[in-house]
C-alpha cells in the first residue's frame, strides 16, 4: 500500500523545527504523533511512520533534537549510542513536550485528519508518550519500552486516556522489577494495559538493532493496532 511522505516545518517560540509526515493512500485517517527514540528521526523511525500510514493513519514525527542540529539521524553502533545519550541528556523535556504539542496541533489542522489522535513513542519517546497522555493532549497513548516511567509514577493519576505499554521480558534497561512497579501503580486503572513480551530485549521493535525480535515486534504491532481500533 503506497503512502505519501514529506518533511514540514513547524513554528515554535524559539525557532522552526521539522516534522516528518506520512499520509495513507486514502489521504485521510485518524492521527498518530510518533515520538522518536534517542537516535533522532532516522531511517527506522521514518519506516515505522510509513508502516502506520500504510495501516491507515495520518502520522507526524516531530524532530525533538532540532536545537542541537538539523534533522539529526543516528545509527545503532557505538558512536551512534554515545552521541544519542549526549543528545538525550541535552534535551529539555519541557521543550520537547511543547514541540510534541505543536506537532499535535499541526496534525489537528491537517485536512487529512479524520478521527482522534494517538501518541506512540519508543524508548525515550515512550516516556514522552506517557507524559503526553498525562498532559491530556491525545485520545490514546502507547509506549514501547518507555524508559523512566517507573520513576515518574506521580503522574499516574493524571492519565485519563487509554494507555498501552509494551515491555520486553529481558530488557536490561527496564528490569521486570520496574515493570511490576508500574503495573502495581496502575492495577486499578481499567484504561491501562501492560504487555510483557517473552525473551524480548530493549529495542525489540527495531530491525536495525541486534536486539530486534521479529516475533515480539509483530505481536506488539498487532496489539497496538487492536488497541487503536478499539480506543481511537
Spot the catalytic one: 55, 139, 171, 206. 171
Q: Clarify whether 206 is annotated catalytic.
A: no
Sheet containing 29-35: order of strands: 4-12, 15-23, 58-62, 29-35, 113-122, 140-144, 163-168, 192-197
Closest CA to 32 of 15, 1, 6, 55: 55
CB 34 within 8 A of CB 52: yes
Spot the catalytic one: 44, 99, 123, 206. 123
Spot the catalytic one: 44, 131, 166, 202. 202
Q: Clarify whether 221 is annotated catalytic.
A: no
Q: Clarify whether 131 is annotated catalytic.
A: no
**Residue 208 corresponds to which cell in the numbers above?**
536495525
| Measured distance CA(148)–CA(152) in Å, rounded | 7
Strands 140-144, 58-62: pairing kind: unpaired
CA 87, distance to chain mean position in Å, is 17
Instruction: Spell out a b/e string for 7-43, using b for 16 or more CB atoms within 10 Å of the CB, else e.
Output: eeebebeeeebbbbbbbbeeebbbbbbbbbbbbbbbe
Report, as residue numbers or ranges, the catalytic residues.
Answer: 123, 171, 202
Amino acid at each position: 500500500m503506497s503512502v505519501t511522505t514529506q518533511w514540514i516545518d513547524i513554528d515554535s517560540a524559539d525557532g522552526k523545527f521539522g516534522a516528518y509526515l506520512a499520509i495513507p493512500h486514502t489521504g485521510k485517517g485518524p492521527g498518530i504523533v510518533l515520538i522518536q527514540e534517542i537516535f533522532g528521526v532516522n531511517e527506522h523511525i521514518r519506516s515505522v511512520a510509513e508502516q502506520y500510514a500504510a495501516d491507515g493513519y495520518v502520522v507526524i514525527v516531530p524532530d525533538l533534537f532540532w536545537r542541537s542540529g538539523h534533522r539529526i539521524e543516528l545509527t545503532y553502533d557505538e558512536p551512534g549510542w554515545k552521541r544519542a545519550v549526549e543528545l538525550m541528556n541535552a534535551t529539555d523535556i519541557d521543550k520537547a513536550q511543547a514541540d510534541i504539542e505543536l506537532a499535535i496541533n499541526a496534525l489537528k489542522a491537517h485536512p487529512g485528519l479524520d478521527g482522534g489522535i494517538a501518541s506512540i513513542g519508543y524508548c525515550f519517546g515512550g516516556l514522552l508518550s506517557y507524559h503526553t497522555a498525562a498532559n491530556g493532549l491525545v485520545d490514546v497513548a502507547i509506549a514501547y519500552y518507555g524508559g523512566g516511567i517507573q520513576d515518574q509514577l506521580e503522574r499516574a493519576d493524571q492519565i485519563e486516556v487509554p494507555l498501552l505499554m509494551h515491555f520486553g521480558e529481558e530488557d536490561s534497561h527496564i528490569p521486570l522489577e520496574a515493570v511490576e512497579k508500574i503495573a502495581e501503580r496502575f492495577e486499578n486503572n481499567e484504561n491501562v494495559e501492560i504487555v510483557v513480551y517473552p525473551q524480548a530485549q530493549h529495542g525489540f521493535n527495531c530491525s536495525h538493532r541486534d536486539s530486534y525480535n521479529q516475533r515480539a515486534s509483530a505481536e506488539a504491532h498487532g496489539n497496538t493496532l487492536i488497541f487503536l481500533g478499539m480506543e481511537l
